[in-house]
Structures are given as structure tokens and as C-alpha cells.
Structure 1
Amino acid sequence: MNEIVDEMNYNEFKSIITTELFDKMDKMIEERKLSMKNAILLLKHAGYCRVIKNIWLSGFQESSLNRSFEKMIVEEEQKKEEKNEKLMIDLCECYISLRSGFPPELLSICVPCLLKIALKKEENEEIQKEVEIALMALRNVSDYHYVEQELYLNKITEIIQYHQEHRNLTRVAYQSAWQFLMNKFYWDKSLEEVIANELHFTREAARELEELMKCVDWKKNEDKLKEMEEKNLLERWLETVNIYFGKCQLRNEERAVLIESIVQVYRVAKDNHREICEECIRLLKTVSYNTTVEIEDLLKSGAVNIALGEIVRFDFMKTSVEDWIFGGYVLIQYVEDYFVHC
């Protein structure tokens, strides 16, 4: 069944992984026709695929299986002795990766549980996969969901810093760790200093973008590239970088390197992969509106040239100004200011 889930495209996944399926599984577990062990194996894999393929799914949280899992998680947490730690981890991974919204009381249980797994530092393949699954589930805790800082900050900081020193995480796991932390940035501006100066996000993101650019086969056409893991991971990094430039107002010399990396992604993708180009355009628009970005960085990186090029190719009949000009007017204003004052 896991192999079938792997091969599903977006529409197939949404049409098959439904409330009715989860309700049926719940009934089968209750009637002992399906073991909890086998159910968890399937659900963990479905949740992992759902998150990595970025599929919006509401079927689980509307199901009786969701209510059963919530009850088991709370009951297991309330046990004073003989807690089944393995069951708790499995329940939390399934629950977090399959839902799109979370009650605060369940998040306060599941987030520390999954971070505890993600803190494992052994570098064998089995442990790396456990860590990856836990962090992939955590990245599903979006910016809509508030989590108390004391429940996550020290642990996620340790996970990221340890990887920066030892490179123990998979690429997917590392991006997921950053996405989880960046999602919390929406709620907590005090994270700005940690993200920018303690964890050096801009340096790390630039390095990841540059490495992923080398892994993607840019000669493939857009359709063949769509399912490629490295391409999807590169797009997720661009989304994470967009949050950073949209929220972080600290001046940082490392930003220039990151802006140059975004421009490089645009240039290697521009001939065949308009979807990635558009993501870069939207991101550079966010960069242009960030008041702490230096004019020199926009000029040296080539961002202004991209803006002018997009304005030249702009089709007023087919495309929205918002998508194509990425703040081109703002960039032109920056250039004018630069020459006036220099």
C-alpha cells in the first residue's frame, strides 16, 4: 500500500485519502480487522507523502480516526507510569502530518514529543529517517498555529546548530527544521535575532540554494521536472526565504549573498521553468520592499536587471502587474535614489 501511495499524483491522493477511508480504518481497528501497528505504518507514510508533496488535506481531521487519535494522545500523556513512548511518537507523527489545523492543547503535547525525536544525533540511516519524519511533520505546523516559545526554541536551535557543525540531517529534514522555526516567526518577532545572527539563516539558505541548483536537471521540461525532489525542495527554500525577507528587519551583511543566489536560480530556470522563475520574481518583490536591504545589493546582484527585463516582457492582456513586476516600480525608485545621492 505504501508503494501505491508513493505513486499517487496530487489529484489521486486527494480523491483516495478521504474522510471515508479514515472512518473505515477506525472501524477496522475497533473490530480488530486492522492492527494498530499496520494502521500506523500506512498513516505515517501517507502523512509524510502528503507533506512532502504539499497536498492540502482536510479529510483526516473530520474523521472518527482523528478523534480516536486525539483521545489516545491525551490519555497516553496523562499516564503517570508505564507510558508507551513508541506509541506516543507514532500517534503524534500521524496526527500532525495528516491534519491542517490543530487544537492548542494537542500541539503542546505533540511538538515537544516530535522535537525529542528530531534531537537524535546518531548518523545511521534508520535514525536519520526517524528524524526526517519528525521534522517533516513539524513543518506542517503552519504560521496559523501559535506554540509557546519554551516548548520549541531551545530544541530547534540545537537541532539546526548541530547540523551546521556536523551535517547530520538530510536535506529535507534540514529545510523542514527551518520552515518550522520560520513559521513561528509570524507570531514571535523576538526570534529575529536568533534567526538572523545566531543561526545565520541567510548564509545557510544561500548555500542550500546553490547546492540544489547543481542537483536539478534544468534541461528537463517543466512537466518532467515537476515531481523531482530537488526541484520541490528548492521551491520550499524559496518560500522560506520569502518569509524571512517579509518579516526580518535586521541589517545583515550576509543578505547580499542570498539575494545573488535568488538571482542565480532565476537565471538558470528562465529558459524552461517559468513556475520557478515566478517564485523568484515574487521573492525579489518581497526583497525590494524590505527597507533594510541596501540599494547596492540590489544593483550588484542583478535583481534590478531582472525587474527591468520582466517589465519589458510584461503582457498587459494576460498577466497581473502584481505577479510580473515584483515591485519593479519600487526597484526603479531605489535606482533613482541611488544615483541622486551618490
Structure 2
Amino acid sequence: MEEFIDDKIEDGNREMAPKEKFSKLFDELKSCSVSEQKEKIEEMNRMIDEMNKEELYSTFTKEQFEKIDKMIEEEKLTMGNAILLLKHMGYCNILKSIYIEDFFFSSFNGRFEEMIVDEEQNKEKRKENLLTGLCECYLLLNIGTSSQLISDCAPCLLKAALKKEENEEAQKEVEMALLALSCIDVCNIIERDLFLNEIKEIIQYHQKRCNLTQLAYQSAWGFLIKRFELDKSLEVVIANELHFIREARREVEELWKSVDWKKKEEEMGKTERKAMDIILRWFGPIGDYFYSCHLWNEEYVGLLRSIVDVLLASRDNHSEICEECVRLFKAAAENRAVKLVALLKSGAIDAALEEIPKSTLNRRMTYEFINFFHLISMRFKGKGEAKTTEEERKELKRKIFEKQEEEGFEDIIVRFQKTNRFYYANDAIFIHL
């Protein structure tokens, strides 16, 4: 009997896990007033922030979205409060790279599409805040979007993102609008006159006044670089007018300096984890730019150096980020607009050679490093580097070859081949004079 009482007391004192508390608050929503609902949803959003990825996957389910849809249908939850909850779900979905599919397959998705069309067509009585919220939720939570709805959502969200106020509430609204825009897939074609002037104004105003959050600014670039992948005529605007390389370098440097890389992710605070998430988000457009841009820029060296800094800082405790750094080196090596001397001057080649001995237990990482040098080797087998004399080219090859020998590169590859049965022909790996 005493043991039973002790167990009851222990259960009563046990602090609820974020997922449990979220479910409890959700069940209470239907019996609350509109203002009470808003307070509970704000608390639910805080619980979402505390969940790990596994908990988020089990929370953002088709069943959960269907429940929200039913509560709106039965007028037990206002659309405004539903949007408050769904926007935060979408925010975490994107920032934490969860990519929930269940919203797309729920009836709720259809409701959003209908409401967006209705609001867009009802120009006289249109509720701009409602339309903005609907578009944000639709893009943040969806894995598939209608091309027509994209043409409706993009101008609406760009208008919201053009707000110049610098108070915290306005910054959060702009951040959400730009984050949603960055979710528009590269396959969705948007006419230039629907976005170019607006996104240029947003980026250039920030460059003068710094009115955007770090996530908002990254999202603005993420949206524009995706448009660039299908419209190469944007190259001059992105490279020379908006200075993508310079801006990406500055942002990555500020972010990596704000993280204590000696900590593992679970030991970090919310601010540090968010900085890491934004760094990974920058790596997407940087990689796309490396693959797609054909204009040489001296600032490539600085951007590559900042990526080297991230690699060296993240190598011990954050292998995902470290691997992404090497993939960026590969993207740069593959693009003939990026001179190989930039990879040498930036320290990318040194860093790769230094890391290979440490990576031999990680087959995937070693594979990425070897591929990096394979791409460099193929570059030397081609027609040479643009605007590089034959003498300069030979000198560059000599320097790289010497560095390989200093680090015992060939011995490392042989050991890797023996332990992993992974083969490359010698002339595909090593750069010979």
C-alpha cells in the first residue's frame, strides 16, 4: 500500500514531456474562449520548440491535421488561432529539416487551397493578413504545391516581406513570409515581373539598414537562388548587383563565430542550435551558386575560407555540417568559373588533406574527400584554367602535389582501399606533373 502511494506521488511530481503537454493543451482547446485558445497555442508552440525530431514526426501527423480541420469546421477553433499554431509547425518543419508529408495528404490541405483562391479572387473584401497566413502555412507545410497557387502566394508574401519596420514583431512577420517564399521549389516557375523588383528591394534595403533577421536574409537569398537555377539571365543581378558571394561569406562568418563548436548539439542553447540550422540553410544556395554561376569573382577565396573555418570547427562534434562543407568544396572544384588557385589560397585543399587521415573510419566522409581530389584531377586533364598561363598551371599542380605528398595522401588511400574495398584508378585520384 505504501509503495502504491509513493508511486502515485512520484507520478504527480513527474514533469510532463513536451509532446505530452502539447497533446494535453490541444485537447483543452475546444472548451476555451478565443483569447484562452491563443494563450494555450502560444504555450503549445513553446512545447514544439522543445521537441526533438522524433517527437515532432509523431506530432505533425495526418491525424493531427485532420483534428484541427474538424475543430475549425465545428467552429471550436478559429482560423486565426489555427494559423498561429500551423505557422509555427511549419517554421519548425523547415528550420529543423523535418519535411512532414502528412499535411499534403490531409483534407486540411484542400481547405487551404480553396481559401487562398477565394481570398485572392475577392479583391474588394480581401483580408490581407488572413491571405498572408494561409499562404505561409500552405508553403511551410506542403510537399507539393499548385503552380497557380504559387503565382498567387509569391506576390502576397513579397508584399508582406517589404515591410520596413524594425520592431521585433514586424521582423518576425517578415521572417515568416521570406521563410515561406524560400520553400517554393525550383521546379515552380515564377514570372520575373512577379518577384524580381521586390526581392531586389528587400535584399538591397537590408544591405543598407540591416532590418532583417539572419534567417530572413538567408531565406530571401534562398528564394532568389532557386529562381536562378531555371533563369540564368539572373546571374549578373545576383553576382554583380546584389553581391551574393560577399553577402554569403559575411553571414556564414557571423554565424559560425556565434557557436561554441566544442559542445555537442544536445548541449547547446536554442540560439546556437538555430545558428547551426541557418548555416546549413546557407550551404544550399551556396552549393547551387557554385554549380550554376559562370562569373569569376575574387571574393570566392574569402567565401571558401569561411567554409574551411566551419569545417575545422565542426569536425569533432558535428559530422553533418562537416560533410556539407566538403560537398561545397566539390561543387566549387566542379565549376570551372572557380579557379583552382582559389581552392588552394582559401585553405580548402589543406583542410581536406588534413582531414582525410581522421576520416578513414567514416566511409562516406572519405568518399567525399576523394571525390574532391578526383574533380581537381579532372580539371587539370582538361583545357586548363581560364585566364591562367601554362606556367601558372604547372606551378599550381606542383604545389598541390607537394601538399599531397606532405600529408601522405597516397598511403592513406591505399589503406582505405584495403579496409573498405573502395577503388579509384591512381590517375583519377592523384594529380601528377
Instruction: Classify the TM-score, shorter chain.
Output: over 0.9
Q: CA deviation at 1:245?
A: 0.3
1:278 touches 1:324 (CA, 8 Å); kept in 2?
Answer: no
Deviation by residue 1:203-256 (Cα, 9 ceiling, x = unmatched)? 001111111121001120254359611111112112221111011111112212
Letter in 2 for 1:171: Q
Aligned-pair identity (%): 51
Give the distance between the partners of 2:197 and 2:185, measured in 1 at CA.
19
AA matched with 2:321: I
1:255 aligns with 2:300: yes
Judged with a 3 Å threshold, the aligned counterparts in structure 2 of structure 1 residues 4 and 320 are, in CA distance, closer, same or farther, namely closer
Contact 1:282 1:326 in 2 (8 A): no
Comparing 33-42 with 306-315, which one deviates more in the overlay?
Answer: 306-315
Aligned pairs for 1:228-243 (under 5 A) are 228-243=273-288
Q: 2:338 matched to 1:293?
A: yes
- Give the corresponding residue for 2:233: 190
Q: Structure 1 length normalisation: TM-score?
A: 0.93
Aligned length: 342
The separation in 2 between residues aligned to 1:335 and 1:306, in whole angstroms, is 20
Q: Which range moves more in the overlay, 328-337 or 28-37?
A: 328-337
Q: Cα distance 1:41–1:245, how it changes in 2: closer, same or farther (>3 A)?
A: same
Q: Which has the larger radius of gyration?
A: 2
Q: Does residue 204 of the first structure (1) align with residue 247 of the second (2)?
A: yes
Shift of 1:27: 1.5
Q: Name the residue aligned to 2:134.
A: 91
Query: What is the distance in 2 between the residues matched to 1:272 and 1:87?
Result: 43
Please list every run of 5 or more consecutive structure 1 residues that lacks an aligned counterpart in the other structure.
none
**Taking CA–CA contacts closer than 8 Å with sequence separation of 6 or more, which of the two structures ends up with the larger relative contact order?**
1
Summarize the Cα distance change of 1:271–1:47 in structure 2 as closer, same or farther, 3 Å threshold. closer
Q: Which residue pairs with 1:125 in the alignment?
A: 168
In the TM superposition, residue 314 of structure 1 has moved relative to its aligned partner by 5.2
The answer as to 2:109 corresponding to 1:109 is no
Note the C-alpha offset of 1:320: 6.6
Q: Would the aligned equivalents of 1:289 and 1:330 in 2 still touch at CA under 8 Å? A: yes
Counterparts of 1:25 and 1:163 in 2: how far apart (Å)? 37
Structure-2 change in CA distance of 1:296 and 1:67 (3 Å): same
Q: Which residue does 1:33 correspond to in 2? A: 76
1:123/1:222 Cα in 2 relative to 1: closer, same or farther (>3 Å)? closer
- Check whether the contact 2:323–2:365 (CA below 8 A) recurs between aligned residues: no
Using a 3 Å threshold, how does the CA distance of structure 1 residues 85 and 339 change in structure 2: closer, same or farther?
Answer: closer
Indicate if the aligned counterparts of 1:249 and 1:292 stay in contact, CA closer than 8 A: yes
CA offsets per residue over residues 167-204 of structure 1, 9 Å max, x none? 00000100111111111122111111111111100000
| CA distance in structure 2 between the partners assigned to 1:168 and 1:205 by the alignment | 17
Report the AA paired with residue 340 of structure 1: K
Q: How far is the alpha carbon of 1:149 from its aligned partner? A: 1.7
Cα deviation for residue 268 of structure 1 reads 2.2
1:13 to 45, 56, 70: 56
Partner of 2:34: none
Partner of 1:49: 92
